[in-house]
Structure 1
Amino acid sequence: MVGTMAMQLPFIRASRMARTSPHLVGEPCADDEVLLDAPDSRLSPALVAAARGDHVPAASLLLATRVASEWERRDRYVTRLAAFARSRPEWLDAWLATAPQDPDALLVGAQLAVDRAWQSPARAELLREVSPLITAAARGDQRDPVPWRLALDHARGAQAGHTYFEELWAAAVRRAPHHYGCHVAALRYLATYWHGSHHECFDFADRAAQDAPAGALVQALPLRAAFGYLTDDCGPEIPRERLDAAADRAIALSPRLPAADPWPARMRNLLIFVLVCLERWPDATEQLRLNGPYATSFPWDRLSDDPLGHFLRVREDIRVGAAGDPSGHPRNERGGRVRPGDH
């Protein structure tokens, strides 16, 4: 049985409480050297081949992650490959035609179907229609938690009830008790189900982090809860010390991950965002050093239609703030500070 934390989602309070070469750590980089959403050295060849219509490298990559139980990387690769297939689907169509029962092809296809449905005004109805695709992907490998992360996202978009979501959550954590993607999906469901109840979201995230190994990405889940609070105008105030504690957990995790590498860049970009909101300039400067030249669309796309440009402006804010000017803050496109509601 998984840990107590993993099985206690607090749903109803009333009923029950494209550069891949190494970058030197700390090496300054000019604005034109910063890369947005750069793939890592394993994903890049798969994307290049997919652009030529060749699915074999993508199939080999996902098979390798499944054999080695690299669930965090698998989750990220599936998401990126599905995003690529939204505009260039030929390679995925060929893969599914060649190997219609391949669990890796089924998973990318299911992710793509969810992504497409998510953008529609008829999201809930369309998402219900793609449920069989997720079921087929989940049957492909009983060890794999990634189809269950997709199922959790799907349930949120389809406005599923808490009982059904709890069943999915239990199935997910049986497979991988500390899988970050599943925990983020659960946190986002909680934020939607209890809109504005950030204390409950923090409680869930803190329990998850306390239960996880020191090097697990779930250590950054409280940081994700802090981001949700900092970009939302609903709910009671969260004490500053709780926001700082969330940032501190992610700061402790960051040196355990590869430096100046695309793989942990998304976590570090989120950490930089929160640290700047908290005006912790020296810590933000250190995370920029560890991050190297890698910007990610999230979280900056929540503030601007130009996430790379916004990241570069925040980078300058950090330089100014570290020099003693308190005026630097993450800004929205109008140039103001990040305020609740700017998302």
Structure 2
Amino acid sequence: MALQLPFIRASRMTRTVSHPVSGPSADDEVLLDAPDARLSPALVAAARGDYGPAAGLLLATRAAAEWERRDRYVTRLAAFARSRPEWLDAWLATAPHDPDALLVGAQLAVDRAWLSPARTELLREVSPLLTASARGDRRDPVPWRLALDHARGAQAGHKYFEELWAAAVRRAPHHYGCHVAALRYLAASWHGSHQECFDFADLAAQDAPADALAQALPLWAAFGYLTDGCGPEVPRARLDAAADRAIALSPLLPAADPWPARMRNLLIFVLVCLERWPDAAEQLRLNGPYATSFPWDQVSDDPLGRFLRVRDDVRAAVAGQPSWHPRSERGGRVRAGDH
């Protein structure tokens, strides 16, 4: 029986954004995992051991309820702290009850545990950090996204996961990160049951505002299917519908900007798998010079190189020359787009 996750419906909102986009960037101008204008100063300061800008940034996202950006910033700051932890250690020592510092610390602890062969045991040990971060601001869904990731890694049962899910959507019904965490749990719990993942993602997208990142959730389901070698076939029409929903979202987000680059890179990946070359070319135009490690690191140990090669293939295909799929260099495969 597939996990049935409830949704809280909310009124829809539509916003139209118009952005000029310049021509394609040269290879040496493409940036991998570039921070946006708000995160960049915080990372520069952290490299100097100064946690002040990071603290100010996360406080601002919490005050303005910018939960999507807060989630992204917490993840990036924790990733930086994996190799440069001194600034975070100083922050936690100075303000041990700061909800923002606690959240970055909890994300870092979960990240470190995921990298260990003893992941399940280590994840269970960091549960108190998750509890402390969740108590910091009861409006904040990001600790609950982290708890959902933690539950998947700790192999938690469905009942416990559903309790976490209910707490997450009470705080932010359409939070992208929480939904992605739930999709990953579904995929891990019912390996190959892509129908359940699509059903979950489609319902979430239908309930979300037109300019919400949740519109890209079916794209995640499509990516999971296209990079998985098991399970029943998913109709091509459903894969195209997932891509079309993300295509409709893309112009509503800033063009040539680091913020939506991860979604656009994922969309480009799926469009190439489906051999929708003109659509992929348009997303490359909107994406500008911003490559992201995900999803290319799922099929290559050189994500930037793979992005550049796929970009060249899209251009060649649009010009009428044959191209190829972003197949895995690690022994895996990507399903062809002709099913």
TM-score using structure 1 length: 0.91
| One-letter amino acid matched to 1:203 | D
% identical equivalent positions: 86
The DSSP-based 3-state class of the residue aligned with 2:259 is coil
Per-residue CA distance 1:180-238 (angstroms, 9 max, x = gap): 00000000000000100000100000000000000000000000000000000111000
Give the counterpart of 2:246 among 238, 245, 250. Answer: 250
Q: Does 1:331 align with 2:335?
A: no
Of 97, 104, 108, 1:101 maps to: 97
Letter in 1 for 2:289: P
* Number of residues of Structure 1 aligned to a counterpart in Structure 2: 323
- Provide the residue aligned with 2:53 in structure 1: 57
Offset of residue 309 of structure 1: 0.3
Match of 1:41 among 28, 31, 37: 37
Give the whole-Å Cα distance in 2 for the aligned partners of 1:262 and 1:277. Answer: 23
Where do 4+ consecutive residues of structure 1 move more than 4 Å?
334-337
Q: Which runs of 5+ in 2 are unaligned?
A: 10-18
Contact 1:314 1:331 in 2 (8 A): no
Match of 1:6 in 2: 7
In the TM superposition, what whole-angstrom CA distance separates every residue of 1:126-164 from its partner, at most 9, and x where no partner exists?
000000000000000000000000000000000000000
Q: Name the residue aligned to 1:151.
A: 147
1:211 aligns to 2:207 (yes or no): yes
Structure 2 Cα separation of the partners of residues 178 and 336 of structure 1 = 32
Code of the residue aligned with 1:6 in structure 2: it is F
| Matches of 1:118 and 1:263, distance apart in 2 | 25
Find the aligned partners of 1:252 and 1:117 in 2 and give their Cα distance.
37
Q: Does 1:222 align with 2:223?
A: no
> CA 1:295–1:335 in structure 2 vs 1: closer, same or farther (change >3 Å)?
farther
Q: Distance in 2 between matches of 1:75 and 1:335?
A: 32
Task: Find the aligned partners of 2:212 and 2:335 in 1 and give their Cα distance.
Answer: 30
Query: Shift of the alpha carbon at 1:333?
Result: 3.0
From 268, 283, 286, the equivalent of 1:287 is 283
Q: Which residue of 2 aligns with 1:85?
A: 81
Q: Does 1:66 align with 2:62?
A: yes
Q: Secondary structure at the match of 1:6?
A: coil
Compare relative contact order (CA 8 Å, sep 6+) and give the higher one, 1 or 2.
Answer: 2
Task: Kindly indicate whether the alpha-carbon contact (under 8 Å) linking 1:320 and 1:328 is maintained by their aligned counterparts in 2.
Answer: no
Give the letter aligned to residue 181 of structure 1: G
- Counterpart of 1:11 in structure 2 is none
The separation in 2 between residues aligned to 1:40 and 1:199, in whole angstroms, is 35
Matched, 1:302 2:303: no
Match of residue 174, structure 2, among 170, 175, 178: 178
Whether 1:267 aligns to 2:244 is no
RMSD: 1.7
Residues 273, 335 of structure 2: 8 Å contact kept: no
Corresponding residue to 1:163 among 139, 159, 162: 159
Q: What is the alpha-carbon distance in structure 1 between the residues aligned to residue 126 and residue 331 of structure 2?
A: 41
Matched-pair contact (CA < 8 Å) for 2:228–2:334: no
- CA distance in 2 between counterparts of 1:277 and 1:188 reads 20
